Structure 1
Amino acid sequence: MTLIKSISGIRGTIGGKVGDNLTPIDAVKFASAYGAWLKQQRDKENYRVVVGRDARISGEMIQQLVMQTLVGMGIHVIDLGLSTTPTVEVAVPLEHADGGIILTASHNPKQWNALKLLNAKGEFLNGEDGAKILKIASSNAIAFAEVDDLGKITVNDAYIDLHIDEIMELDLVEADKIKNANFKVVVDGVNSTGGIAVPRILQRLGVDCIKLYCEPTGHFPHNPEPLKEHLTDICEKVKTENADLGIVVDPDVDRLAFIDENGNMFGEEYTLVAVADYVLSKRKGNTVSNLSSSRALRDVTQKHGGSYQASAVGEVNVVQLMKDTNAVIGGEGNGGIIYPELHYGRDSLVGIALFLSHLAEKSILVSQLRDEYPSYFMSKNKIELTPELNVDEILKRVEEKYQNEEVSTVDGVKIDFLENWVHLRKSNTEPIIRIYTEAKSQEEADHLAQEMIKEIKSIAGI
């Protein structure tokens, strides 16, 4: 497996050969390059970096390598230990740190891990800064500190609670209404740090929480991507426990999905739609999601008199467009909620608080809430890449074929038809091409996807 270097971080599988996988040497190499980049940003006496990790098996090893590398560069480390991606993002500015590193491969299986890199605002690096770090990593010209100038590690395991404190203080989080609603919720923490953080915020909100896979062992009980086919256990548990809803997060708690009271998926795409509907009912403004996200957000935004914009895929791209358009809420259709009043990062914990506030205020069932939104259905497929497959040429030929339709090439090729759309793009995190489609029925979305897959294979001669 080739080591993947992108705006999503430095990602790879554990073990194998240096440069081909995320080995200890690669972890040290990129951590030191990041440290050198930090020092280029500002000339000062002391540098501080916040480091946290999800619960995957390799996490402690990779974290120790990263932290000790930074110590060797004379950089002080605030060690959050087991944490969440949004918690580290919140901690960076609160600690007045120069940056942050999260050790997580997000929704990828357990053999994967990654270094996700943050700037001094607690936000993901843009492409330009990421390129600088990759250049430093390949230069072999990194200077380490002398013995009297080594950094120190300070452990702070309070930040999940501090993160929740920040959420509880938000104006739109209606804690009393949530408590009075007497919600009963099943939580699937996929045996990672969501099993720590999600029950904790539910407790603060006065919600009865039933835990499923909430031991942070790193042994994922199912594929950790929160998609319908992976969530049969919680769907059944919601029904047998007669719960009001189910809550599912990925290993680093930046993707959020809900299950309704009947054990049916609320729809990962509709997590952002529902939260945006609530926020826009209180704060007039604009929204942003990426090109692969549902049209339903556009519809809800326009209902509230706001303007909707679509960015290239990638959290950093969504955040930049949110800033450019002064969006009051945004995110990604994969269940990522970005609420700028708290911070510019996907955050399942604030998403939970806002969703439950919405549900408590409306005093309806989760299935009834879902029925209030336009019904779109998505099909998400992928084709494995091979060295001989020229993806750029394939996408160019698709673009040419559909030049009379509404086509965007901001990120891959997206074709907007009158009743549906298809988006083709190379993944930032895996060696695959993704095919996303959306239509007014699941059958239509699936059919459109299969037809496009046939077309791609025909063009590629496979």
Structure 2
Amino acid sequence: MLKYFGTDGVRGVANAGLTPEMAFKLGRDGGYVLTKDKKDGERAKVLVSRDTRISGQMLEYALISGLLSVGIEVLEVGVITTPGLSYLVRAQGADAGVQISASHNPVEDNGIKFFGSDGLKLSDAKEEIEKLIDAPEDKLPRPSAEGLGTVTNYHEGASKYLQFIENTLPEELGGIKVVVDGANGAASALISRLFADMGVDFTTIATHPNGLNINDHVGATHTKKLQEEVVKQGAQLGLAFDGDADRCIAVDENGNEVDGDHIMYVIGSYLADHGRLKKDTIVTTVMSNLGFTKALERRGLKNVRTQVGDRYVSEEMRANGYNLGGEQSGHVIISDYHNTGDGMLTGLHLLYVMKDTGKSLSELLSDFKEYPQRLINVPVKDKKDWKEHKRITEAIKKVEEELSDEGRIFVRPSGTQSLLRVMTEAPTQELADKYCEEVAKVVEEEMGSK
């Protein structure tokens, strides 16, 4: 069990759990681990970027100091999206990249996320970095003079990244009115340039970050303002990104929220119609709605599911040659172009499907019938041994037998809290509620923390 690294890097409350001192250690120890295999005389190169949080510069300067202390050449990208940094690491042939962001979290949080030379999140290196952080003595190299690292401004990287996204589409995208929500985050300064270059008729909301308003009732996790604006302006589409713009959630012409499952269905169906969906399969996590799988089956397409986390989706896609996957939360990976979830790339490709088919978003989703869901979080004393409780497993089995293939029940421990999450899907909301409450009650009786 890792002490500092979670599924999305190191996160915490900035200047409290995630201090400048920790950022320095992560830069020094992480930079050393990621670049220690360089040949003598070769200077390692690492890209560093951030989102718009007020704590970003504080952590960035501390992190860069750590990288410089072990002789690394730093390219300081400035504010850019997480997928933007991932692309630039590969494009620049860098040894690693570090993004300072807490994605969709509130402003008081921040995070430090490392990428390898392939632009993907770290796996094996995390353990080695953590050992160095907790080592009683710092024995890493301390060069002086010519052995120290240097910092170079690389703010032009944003233009290179936007050009990459634009080149994934065969034509401009005029003719559809779009409202874009930047979450006052990392995409804020990029949206107007990108959508103007693509000839889109667009307006924006939440693209004026002040360091404190990132994700503040806007963006992919708070779409109410966008939904209202789409209806008010008579737009055909709304697109919302989160703080680091690796997610995209859409809004249709009627003001209805369209999540990652729906977006993957639209893009995947279009790719399949043009013979471009590899193995006729879309990869999602176990949290995707049963209605998604059923809709794909009606089109003769398949759905492979992984455990929760876009990292697992990405690994499954690479291992088995799939080219589309993602999460209900809006992480969508179109691997013909990029190896990670990219909100702006996803949004433009959704727009392209609408333009090329001449159909509204609601029309493209007319065959997608979402199953009603119910989720109950049950506080428990120890979430690890829940499968050893016979009453719980029998209650789950009973629900599975009664629902058969017309619904499902899913129980899993929270990754960060002492909770068991009980989720059901059924043909009606009444049934979803009934089964979820039945199992949650058994969990509480067997393991409840009260």
Determine if the TM-score, normalized by the shorter chain, exceeds 0.5. yes
Change (3 A) 1:201 1:455: farther
Question: Does the 8 A contact of 2:377 with 2:419 survive in 1?
Answer: yes
Is 233-242 or 450-459 further displaced after alignment? 450-459
Question: Does the 8 A contact of 2:259 with 2:328 survive in 1?
Answer: no
Partner of 1:454: 441
C-alpha deviations, 1:268-302, integer Å up to 9, x for none? 43122222222233303232111222334434554
Partner SS state of residue 79, structure 1? strand
Change (3 A) 1:141 1:440: farther
Question: Does the 8 A contact of 1:269 with 1:294 survive in 2?
Answer: yes
Say whether residues 1:87 and 2:84 are aligned partners.
yes
Is 327-336 or 42-51 further displaced after alignment? 42-51
User: How far, CA to CA, are the matches of 2:120 and 2:207 in structure 1?
Assistant: 27
Change (3 A) 1:395 1:40: farther
Partner of 1:6: 6
Say whether residues 1:103 and 2:100 are aligned partners.
yes
Question: Does the 8 A contact of 1:338 with 1:347 survive in 2?
Answer: yes
**Counterpart amino acid of 2:159?**
D
Partner of 1:370: 365
Change (3 A) 1:203 1:333: same
Change (3 A) 1:430 1:119: farther
Change (3 A) 1:402 1:192: same
Counterpart pick for 1:287 among 282, 286, 292: 282
Task: Structure 1: state its 5+ residue gaps.
Answer: 408-414
Say whether residues 1:313 and 2:308 are aligned partners.
yes
Q: CA RMSD in A?
A: 2.7
**Counterpart amino acid of 1:220?**
I
Change (3 A) 1:272 1:445: farther
User: How far, CA to CA, are the matches of 2:374 and 2:171 in structure 1?
Assistant: 36
> Higher Cα Rg: structure 1 or 2?
2
C-alpha deviations, 1:364-415, integer Å up to 9, x for none? 2222222232323444554567xxx2001224437732575799xxxxxxx9
User: How far, CA to CA, are the matches of 1:429 and 1:339 in structure 2?
Assistant: 29
C-alpha deviations, 1:165-214, integer Å up to 9, x for none? 222222xx2433x22xx111111111112222333322122112211111
Query: Within 5 Å, which residues of 2 pair with 1:94-243?
Result: 94-126=91-123, 128-139=124-135, 140-148=137-145, 149-170=147-168, 173-176=169-172, 178-179=173-174, 182-218=175-211, 219-220=213-214, 222-223=216-217, 226-227=220-221, 230-243=222-235
Change (3 A) 1:75 1:238: same
User: How far, CA to CA, are the matches of 1:32 and 1:426 in structure 2?
Assistant: 34
Question: Does the 8 A contact of 1:107 with 1:224 survive in 2?
Answer: no
C-alpha deviations, 1:149-179, integer Å up to 9, x for none? 1111111122333222222222xx2433x22
Partner of 2:257: 265
Change (3 A) 1:268 1:328: closer
**Counterpart amino acid of 2:33?**
W
C-alpha deviations, 1:111-141, integer Å up to 9, x for none? 1111111111000112x33222222222243
User: How far, CA to CA, are the matches of 1:248 and 1:445 in structure 2?
Assistant: 29
Partner SS state of residue 123, structure 1? coil
Query: Within 5 Å, which residues of 2 pair with 1:18-33?
Result: 21-33=17-29
User: How far, CA to CA, are the matches of 1:4 and 1:424 in structure 2?
Assistant: 26
Partner of 1:361: 356
User: How far, CA to CA, are the matches of 2:351 and 2:248 in structure 1?
Assistant: 13
Question: Does the 8 A contact of 1:32 with 1:142 survive in 2?
Answer: no
Deviation at 1:87?
A: 0.1
User: How far, CA to CA, are the matches of 1:452 and 1:431 in structure 2?
Assistant: 17
Question: Does the 8 A contact of 2:331 with 2:342 survive in 1?
Answer: yes
User: How far, CA to CA, are the matches of 2:315 and 2:208 in structure 1?
Assistant: 35
Change (3 A) 1:31 1:417: farther
Partner SS state of residue 32, structure 1? helix
Question: Does the 8 A contact of 2:34 with 2:96 survive in 1?
Answer: yes
Deviation at 1:330?
A: 0.9
Partner SS state of residue 424, structure 1? strand
Is 89-98 or 182-191 further displaced after alignment? 182-191
Question: Does the 8 A contact of 1:8 with 1:314 survive in 2?
Answer: no
User: How far, CA to CA, are the matches of 1:299 and 1:405 in structure 2?
Assistant: 22
Task: Structure 2: state its 5+ residue gaps.
Answer: none
Partner SS state of residue 270, structure 2? helix
Change (3 A) 1:133 1:295: farther
User: How far, CA to CA, are the matches of 1:206 and 1:226 in structure 2?
Assistant: 23
Partner SS state of residue 419, structure 1? coil
C-alpha deviations, 1:206-239, integer Å up to 9, x for none? 1122111111223136346724xx3222211111
User: How far, CA to CA, are the matches of 2:125 and 2:284 in structure 1?
Assistant: 23
Partner SS state of residue 175, structure 1? coil
Partner SS state of residue 258, structure 2? coil
Counterpart pick for 2:343 among 342, 348, 353: 348
Partner SS state of residue 365, structure 2? helix
**Counterpart amino acid of 1:265?**
E
User: How far, CA to CA, are the matches of 1:416 and 1:28 in structure 2?
Assistant: 53
* TM-score, normalization by structure 2: 0.89
Question: Does the 8 A contact of 2:374 with 2:424 survive in 1?
Answer: yes
User: How many corresponding residue pairs?
Assistant: 439
Question: Does the 8 A contact of 2:38 with 2:44 survive in 1?
Answer: no
Change (3 A) 1:221 1:32: closer
